[in-house]
Amino acid sequence: MEIRELKTFLQVAKQSSFCKAADVLGYSQAAVTIQIKSLERDLGVQLFDRIGKRISLTHAGTTFYQYALNVIRDLNHVKGMLSESAQLQGMLVIGTIESVCSSLLPPLAAEFHRLYPNVALKIVVDTPNVLLSMLNANTLDLVYFLDRRIYDAKWIKVLEQPEAVIFAASTRFPLAGKKQLSIDEVIAQPMLLTEYNASYRLALEQRLAAAGKSIRPFLEIGDTGFIVTLLRDNAGVSFLPEFTVRADIACGSLTALDVADFQLRTWRQLVYHKDKWVSREMKAFIALVQEKELGADA
């Protein structure tokens, strides 16, 4: 039994004529006859009495008519719900790292909710390695993370933007405003760092190790918001993605230290699995991130 057969049946019943139904549907009369016979064969009943040129529903046909009408009505209703004009709904599960979650996601989430109030966002925070493993297991829709450029044939990357990682401190800190600081001067200060498994913290450790140097922070924590609060209180120096302190630098409470011959950058990346069915909700979030993040860098 096919949907087109149900539609043909309803049209024949409405027109009381195979010929007229064929004209309305754009089929040949023979095609209409074949579809009705196929439907009757599947159901094991006769749906129409054919007496001369007169066509009328049998008792079984009358009973089936309401069923067919309900099926087509429900199908049209579902199509309407899923059409492009329908409102987005359901849940979107996004994996991210702590620094992105605390700095970049709040305004994105607020704007996404304003645009699509019926979509529930679920945010999962972990390291890039864990998040990408979850993506491969189809427990996340999207992963928005910060790391070196990572490529994998299993992922579709829809955003890849460079991000500077800087040494930041209060504008009241003794080194603030000084030019061409040596890296030794900076790492000798009280250091507040993210946990070692944060991608940019690991990059810093590797860069220092290559030069025969090391760093010993007096505080390690996965909460960049906590670190930024301590920086505002002039508690020391930290090494953070520039976007985490951008607002504080703009308002003059924090500053980027000028370190000679020490530049390090990482990459903001948004990916989904290549085998993932890309829902309208995913497309909407991707478009919003691209608009906001790429626009901010223009």
Look at residues 51, 82, 113 and tell me which one is the last residue of a structural domain: 82
Structure tokens at 284: 């909407």
Ramachandran angles phi, psi of 277, nearest 5°: -70, 120
Instruction: Assess whether 9 and 74 both reside in one domain.
Output: yes
Same domain, 167 and 254: yes
**Residues 187 and 136 both lie in one domain:** no
In whole angstroms, how large is the CA radius of gyration of the chain? 31
Name the percent of the chain in helix, strand, coil, to the closest 5. Answer: 45, 25, 30
Q: Strand 142-147 and strand 90-96: pairing? A: parallel
Kindly state whether residues 76 and 101 are assigned to the same domain: no
Domain limit, last residue, from 65, 82, 99: 82
Is residue 86 scored above 70 in pLDDT?
no
Tell whether 168 and 261 lie within a shared domain. yes
The first and second tokens of residue 196, run together, are 């070692």
Q: pTM for this one?
A: 0.65
- The answer, yes or no, to whether residue 201 has pLDDT greater than 60, is yes
Same domain, 218 and 134: no
Query: What value does the mean pLDDT of the chain take?
Result: 89
CATH code of the domain in which 113 resides = 3.40.190.10
Total number of domains in the chain: 3
**Residue 298: pLDDT above 50?**
no
Q: Let me know whether 155 and 285 are in one domain.
A: yes
Provide the pLDDT for residue 81. 60
pLDDT at 52 over 80: no
Whether residue 173 is found in the same domain as residue 239: yes
The string of pLDDT tens digits covering residues 268-290 is 999 999 888 888 899 999 999 98
Q: Which one, of 18, 44, 47, lies nearest residue 31 by Cα? A: 18
How far is residue 293's CA from residue 108's CA, in Å, rounded to a whole number?
Answer: 10
Which DSSP helix (H) or strand (E) runs through 233?
Answer: none
State how far the Cα of 178 lies from the Cα of 176, in Å rounded to an integer: 6
Q: 97 and 243 in contact (C-beta within 8 Å)?
A: no
Q: Bigger pLDDT: 53 or 228?
A: 228
Counted residue by residue, the chain has a size of 298
Residues 157 and 271 in one domain: yes
- For 273, the domain range is 90-161+267-295
Tell me, yes or no, whether 141 and 193 share the same domain: no
Taking the C-alpha atoms of residue 254 and residue 177, their distance in angstroms, rounded to an integer, is: 11
pLDDT value at 87 more than 90: no
Q: Which residues are registered as beta bridge partners of 14?
A: none
Q: Are residues 156 and 272 in the same domain?
A: yes
Amino acid 83 reads S
Distance CA 226, CA 220 (A): 10
CA dist 187 → 8, 109, 208 (Å): 79, 36, 10
Confidence at 237, pLDDT banded by 50, 70, 90: very high
Q: Which of 215, 268, 265 is nearest to 240 (CA)?
A: 265
The DSSP 8-state label assigned to residue 160 in this structure reads: E
Tokens matching residue 138: 């189809």
